[in-house]
């Protein structure tokens, strides 16, 4: 029941111009450093460990392997806006068509104090492909959010058997909004979903130990928000929640 978001920032260092005389033509050269950050939404597990071994950026004619801080990341350390830098690089290209996240085999989930292997298909280990197709602008920070929705991606297939079946989407950070809120009493375990009344697409998150929740990367529109606690408590539904681009919509405190 996890949601993972990768933040990929493309920053233009600058453009240099050189001129020798009136007959010379001006030349420009731009560099686009790539910073990949990772964050997560809270969930009901003790730990969700993801083995990151590589990140690639693909443009029209070649693939760039970024300088990755390879290792096993516990996603529960990355909640409510906290993120960590996992890869950097700099290239001359201003356009990216695809990002590829490469996972290792040491993925696991901890449930009620017991660790279980989180098996990953070999095809996914060769690279989780996310279509981007974004052209970056000079002298500004260009950010892409990649949402790894583990509410759909972490699947229990039997008693103590878990598989990773990745579900990912890209988020244009400048054109989306956020729904956030709190629940009481604090400590209540609950999942949160926001369903678009227009498209029917469902976006998910979970409530953390402090009773807070956020659902990031929501296209502008109207949503039905459902907070579902553990039984025997009953779900609470809020309808007609309006999301606006670049705005955090706070639905307040939900009491159980």
DSSP string, 90-154: EES-SEEEEEEEEE-S--EEEETTEEEEEE--HHHHT-EEEEEEEE--TTSEEEEEEEEEHHHHE
Cα separation of 244 and 102, whole Å? 33
What integer pLDDT is reported at residue 56 of this predicted model? 86
- CB distance 7 to 36 below 8 Å: yes
Ranges under pLDDT 50 in the chain = 1-28, 42
What integer pLDDT is reported at residue 142 of this predicted model? 60
What integer pLDDT is reported at residue 117 of this predicted model? 92
What integer pLDDT is reported at residue 11 of this predicted model? 39
pTM: 0.65
What integer pLDDT is reported at residue 26 of this predicted model? 40
What integer pLDDT is reported at residue 252 of this predicted model? 96
User: Distance between alpha carbon 135 and the CA centroid of its chain, in Å?
Assistant: 20
DSSP string, 38-63: EEEE--SSSEEEEEEEEEEEE-SS-E
- CB distance 218 to 202 below 8 Å: no
What integer pLDDT is reported at residue 1 of this predicted model? 38
């Amino acid at each position: 029941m996890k949601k993972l978001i990768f933040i990929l920032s493309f920053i233009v260092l600058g453009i240099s111009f050189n001129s020798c005389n009136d007959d010379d033509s001006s030349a420009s050269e731009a560099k686009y450093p790539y910073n990949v950050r990772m964050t997560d939404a809270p969930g009901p597990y003790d730990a969700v460990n993801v083995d990151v071994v590589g990140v690639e950026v693909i443009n029209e004619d070649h693939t760039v392997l970024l300088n990755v801080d390879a290792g096993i990341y516990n996603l529960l350390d990355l909640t409510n806006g906290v993120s960590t830098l996992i890869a950097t690089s700099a290239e001359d290209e201003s356009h990216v068509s695809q990002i590829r996240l490469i996972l290792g085999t040491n993925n696991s989930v901890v449930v009620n104090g017991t660790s279980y292997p989180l098996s990953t298909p070999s095809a996914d280990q060769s690279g989780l492909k996310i279509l981007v197709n974004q052209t970056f602008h000079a002298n500004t920070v260009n950010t892409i959010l990649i949402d790894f929705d583990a509410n759909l991606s972490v699947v229990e297939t039997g008693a103590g058997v878990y598989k990773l079946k990745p579900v990912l989407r890209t988020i244009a950070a400048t054109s989306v909004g956020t729904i956030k809120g709190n629940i009481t009493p604090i400590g209540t375990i609950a999942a949160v979903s926001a369903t678009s009344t227009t498209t029917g697409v469902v976006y998910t998150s979970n409530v953390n130990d402090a009773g807070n929740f956020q659902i990031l990367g929501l296209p502008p529109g109207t949503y039905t928000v459902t907070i579902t606690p553990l039984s025997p408590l009953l779900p609470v539904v809020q309808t007609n929640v309006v999301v606006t681009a670049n705005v955090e919509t706070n639905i307040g405190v939900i009491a159980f």
